[in-house]
Amino acid sequence: MGHVVEIRRQGMQATAPIFIPLLGAAIFQREHPTSAVNQAKIGIAGPIAGTIGATVAFMFYTSTQNPIFLLAALIGFGLNLLNLLPVWQLDGAWILAPVSPWFQVVGLVLIGVLAVVFHVVSILLIIVAILGINSARAAFRNAHNPYYTSVPTNARLALFAAWLALVLYLGVMTLQTESLFISLAR
């Protein structure tokens, strides 16, 4: 819903999210943002809303000790963190597109690290990686497009800082909730 709120805040129309099992949600717009910064704002609004939801679930867990809230927080933190990978159609790619096309390459490398080092292999990650290769190519082809080159340096830095802060918070909270969840299981 964060995406929809930001799209509408920018004065455009959007459908409510249509949830697609195992993939997330799709939102359809009749108009598109006029700048890469506005597109990035739409991109980050979803993970911000999801992070707030996961944080609320975590706070409910700390006050009630009900493990269902801990599970909801863990899923929320983990999915939002994964969604911030700067690859293909994931929100991280939209957020960092105005910053540098190299983040698409970083995202592909991170998927490789997840697969090789952490043994996280799933058909979904494989599909994202395969589709991400074409997205990375397109990012480099479009790097000189005024849509991206007109973004001021301070906006690029702000987008990167916001993305990084969200990644760090979600990483810490994912590890913390996972640790609590494992200790509950024992």
Q: By the 8 A CB rule, do 67 and 61 touch?
A: yes
pLDDT tens digit sequence for 2-13:
999 999 999 999
Q: What is the pTM of this model?
A: 0.91
Q: Quote the pLDDT of residue 127.
A: 87
What local confidence, expressed as pLDDT, does residue 69 receive? 98
Q: Where are the alpha helices (DSSP H) in the chain?
A: 2-9, 36-64, 67-83, 91-96, 102-116, 123-141, 146-149, 153-185
Look-up of token digits 């963190």: 81
At residue 23, the pLDDT reads: 67
Asked if the model's pLDDT at residue 19 lies above 90, the reply is no
Instruction: Look at residue 41 in the predicted model and tell me its pLDDT.
Output: 97
pLDDT for res 22: 65
- Which bin fits 24, alpha (ψ -120 to 50), beta or left (φ > 0)? left
pLDDT, tens only, 46-100: 999 999 999 999 999 999 999 999 999 999 999 999 999 999 989 999 999 999 9
Dmax of the chain from CA atoms? 55
- Counted residue by residue, the chain has a size of 186
Instruction: Name the nearest CA neighbour of 88 among 106, 111, 104, 99.
Output: 104
Cα–Cα distance for residue pair 115/124, rounded to 1 Å: 12
* Phi and psi at residue 24, to the nearest 5°: 120, -130
Task: Give 122's pLDDT tier (boundaries 50, 70, 90).
Answer: confident
| Residue 117 pLDDT | 79
Per-residue pLDDT, 24 = 72
Mean pLDDT value across residues 20-48:
88
**Euclidean distance between the first and final Cα of the chain, in Å?**
36
Residue 18 backbone phi and psi in degrees, to 5: -105, 115
69 CB-side CA count, 13 A? 13
Does the structure show a pLDDT above 80 at 119? no
